[in-house]
Structure 1
Amino acid sequence: MPDLVEPCLAQLQSKPPVGDDWSFEVKWDGYRLAVHIERGRVRIITRGGHDWTTRFPTIAHDARELGLDSAILDGEAVVLDERGASDFGALQRALGGRGGKRFASEARLYAFDLLYLNGHDLRSLPQADRRDMLADALASQPHGSIGMSEDIDADGAAFLKLACEMGLEGIIAKRRSAPYRSGRGGEWLKIKCVQSEGFAIIGYEPSRAALGGIGRLLLGAMKDGALVYVGGVGTGFTASSGGALRKQMAKLVTDKPAATGTGRRKEAVWIKPELVAEVDFRAWTDDGKLRHASFKGLREGEDAADVFEMTGR
């Protein structure tokens, strides 16, 4: 049984694929986790390889109660809002934010793949077969924190339209006949209603009038191995979240921007690019800047999601 499996990642695509070989699921907005079960011991491993077992005690307990000799479940930990939709901000609050010591006891895991089961590596099997085995493995679950991410039998375009009308982030398409491959191989696709990506915070513009004293966060994305400035975000903060973020940034102040293309900004406070902001946005401008951006929260510093990489801009 492998100690760590690099996850299969979904490629971003503008439209759902067409054909009988594609299945569709809701795109959950939380933390990608691999749950390793081996002879009664459970480890919950993040996408970046960190052990967060103690931060998800309910999921760890319920995984142990599945009664499996050995297994690796692939899924997303989420906290649901009153509509039953995943709420990334609520999950962040449950975890106490960056470096927080709180635990997400109210989180649930939506499992969507099974990579290993009772001594057998399943990654070479078709996705459809792995899902059937996952459903069997979860069938006798005595508790409620681990569930199956439902496979929706629907036309992709119609399902995306419904997901967007319901205010969800988007959908995931998976090729039923494909094995499990680490990285972005195209077997999984993500189609979003609103684009949401991780951007490095390279500085901010202070404001006495704004919530938390932050007028705008200044953001960077990766391009050709270096950070480039992609604009800012000035909405999505509360007085509490803005104030907490301002305190974190105060510890990272530096004398020059970590990204190119910032131009002259006399009011900017530059910081080391150690914080990754999850940002919703509608589109890009012709010169590579974010349009209609809104701050969602911070990715955990010790396990930050990939900073968005610009291609073809």
Structure 2
Amino acid sequence: MKKPSRPQPLLRDTDAPIRGRPRKRRDPQQPQLALDPMPERIEPCLALLKAKPPVGPEWAFEIKWDGYRLAVHVEGAKVRIITRGGHDWTHRFPAIAAAAKDLGAATLILDGEAVVLDGEGRSDFGALQRALGGRSGKRPAGEVIFYAFDLLYLDGHDLTGMDLSERRHLLEDLSLDPSGTIRLSEDVTGDGQALMEAAREHGLEGIIAKHRDRPYRSGRTDDWLKIKCVQSDSFIVVGYEHSTSARGGIGSLLLAARRGNNFIYVGNVGTGFKESDATYLRKTLDILKTKKAPVAFEGRSKDIVWVQPTLIAEIEYRAWTDDGKLRHASYKGLREVQDNAAIMDLAERL
């Protein structure tokens, strides 16, 4: 299989690769440490949404990739690929699993994002879904690339207590092929606001800021921050508006976000569907029909078909209205049921 070509740098003009640099001297005693047991799973560190990038030399910046967050576990000849929610998806990413066996480490855990790149080197969530054969598809996706941005375990040592700068140094020591299936997600030093402008110019979703001097802490903390050029989040589908003129008979999807243990209606989306999307959605949603609305709804419900809150849609949008509804929303694709942890929580809105 032909390897994907190396994408051009996205956040600066020079063709020279962006490389992270060790910020601290490595501890010469480290190889003498007692071996740590290989964890079955490490709960991922999640980025906190912010309106502006942070300022200061303690911050490093990366591209925000639009794909599936994965952890790649290597233990001898055994490879496991685990989703953010803890599900084993090794069978869905055979190319990543094969590449992981060639990394030269006896044991390791990589944290990163599986993506498919467009012709400009930008991650394309819809293309990723198509490569996998759609939602719950079984197709092996050879064109999927894994961008590794953290190293959590290496050759018997738990690295989560180390600072990010130290973990990055060890990650770079793996010498990942910049045109291979598993690549290094390059970090960038400099003015975060200038990097945001560069991200906008290149049509990227945004950037991630990471504090260099912090250990790896599971859950959503302010160690990692996400700053978006374009808003994109996951919402649960709670119904659809029936239309006799629209393709597939779906005029729009009705969406909800989390608030505690409840779903709150946040508006609808009626653009971004391909004909195949609309046909699949109608067929699937009609299986999930329910007479009772799963959310409080004050609008006109004559043509609305309520469904069980099962499907998770990735939605791009411009802003929020004053009454808490999505503005200029566009459909990007469906996420897996196992990705329910990704559904937007209104408590995290700025």
TM-score by length of 2: 0.87
Counterpart residue number, 2:89: 52
Q: 1:272 aligns with which of 308, 330, 337?
A: 308
CA distance in 2 between partners of 1:43 and 1:66 (Å) = 14
Deviations 1:69-100 (A, max 9, x none): 00000000000001110000000011112221
CA distance in 1 between partners of 2:56 and 2:255 (Å) = 38
Q: 2:75 aligns with which of 38, 43, 53?
A: 38
Counterpart residue number, 1:11: 48
CA distance in 2 between partners of 1:178 and 1:7 (Å) = 14
SS of 2:346 mapped into structure 1: coil
Answer yes or no: is the 8 Å Cα contact 2:176–2:184 preserved in 1. no
SS of 2:308 mapped into structure 1: coil
Counterpart residue number, 1:68: 105
Counterpart residue number, 2:287: 251
Counterpart residue number, 2:3: none
Answer yes or no: is the 8 Å Cα contact 1:175–1:187 preserved in 2. yes
Deviations 1:91-133 (A, max 9, x none): 0011112221112221010000000000000001010110110
CA distance in 2 between partners of 1:125 and 1:226 (Å) = 37
SS of 1:186 mapped into structure 2: strand
Deviations 1:37-90 (A, max 9, x none): 011211000001111111111110010011210000000000000111000000
Change in Cα spacing, 1:17 to 1:140, as seen in structure 2 (3 Å) is: closer
Q: How far did 1:303 drift?
A: 3.1
Q: 1:228 aligns with which of 255, 264, 280?
A: 264
Q: 1:24 aligns with which of 61, 65, 75?
A: 61
Q: How far did 1:228 drift?
A: 1.1
Answer yes or no: is the 8 Å Cα contact 1:200–1:275 preserved in 2. yes
SS of 1:100 mapped into structure 2: coil
Q: How far did 1:142 drift?
A: 10
Q: How far did 1:208 drift?
A: 2.4
Matched letter for residue 243 of structure 1: T
Answer yes or no: is the 8 Å Cα contact 1:198–1:305 preserved in 2. no
CA distance in 1 between partners of 2:115 and 2:226 (Å) = 18
SS of 1:74 mapped into structure 2: strand
Q: How far did 1:263 drift?
A: 3.7
Q: How far did 1:239 drift?
A: 0.8
Matched, 1:199 2:255: no
Matched, 1:175 2:211: yes
Counterpart residue number, 2:134: 97
Counterpart residue number, 1:106: 143
Counterpart residue number, 1:303: 339
Answer yes or no: is the 8 Å Cα contact 2:208–2:227 preserved in 1. yes
Instruction: Give the RMSD, CA atoms, in angstroms.
Output: 1.5
Matched letter for residue 318 of structure 2: R
SS of 2:273 mapped into structure 1: coil
SS of 2:74 mapped into structure 1: strand
Counterpart residue number, 2:15: none
Q: Provide structure 2 residue ranges, at least 5 long, that are not aligned to the other structure.
A: 1-37
Q: How far did 1:259 drift?
A: 1.0
Of structures 1 and 2, the larger Rg is shown by 2
Bigger mean CA offset, 240-249 vs 142-151: 142-151
Q: 1:120 aligns with which of 157, 166, 169?
A: 157
Instruction: Report the count of equivalent residues.
Output: 312
SS of 1:154 mapped into structure 2: coil
SS of 1:208 mapped into structure 2: coil
TM-score by length of 1: 0.97
Matched letter for residue 284 of structure 2: Q
CA distance in 2 between partners of 1:302 and 1:31 (Å) = 11
Matched, 1:87 2:124: yes
Q: 1:144 aligns with which of 177, 180, 187?
A: 180
SS of 1:185 mapped into structure 2: strand
Matched letter for residue 113 of structure 2: E
Counterpart residue number, 1:129: 166
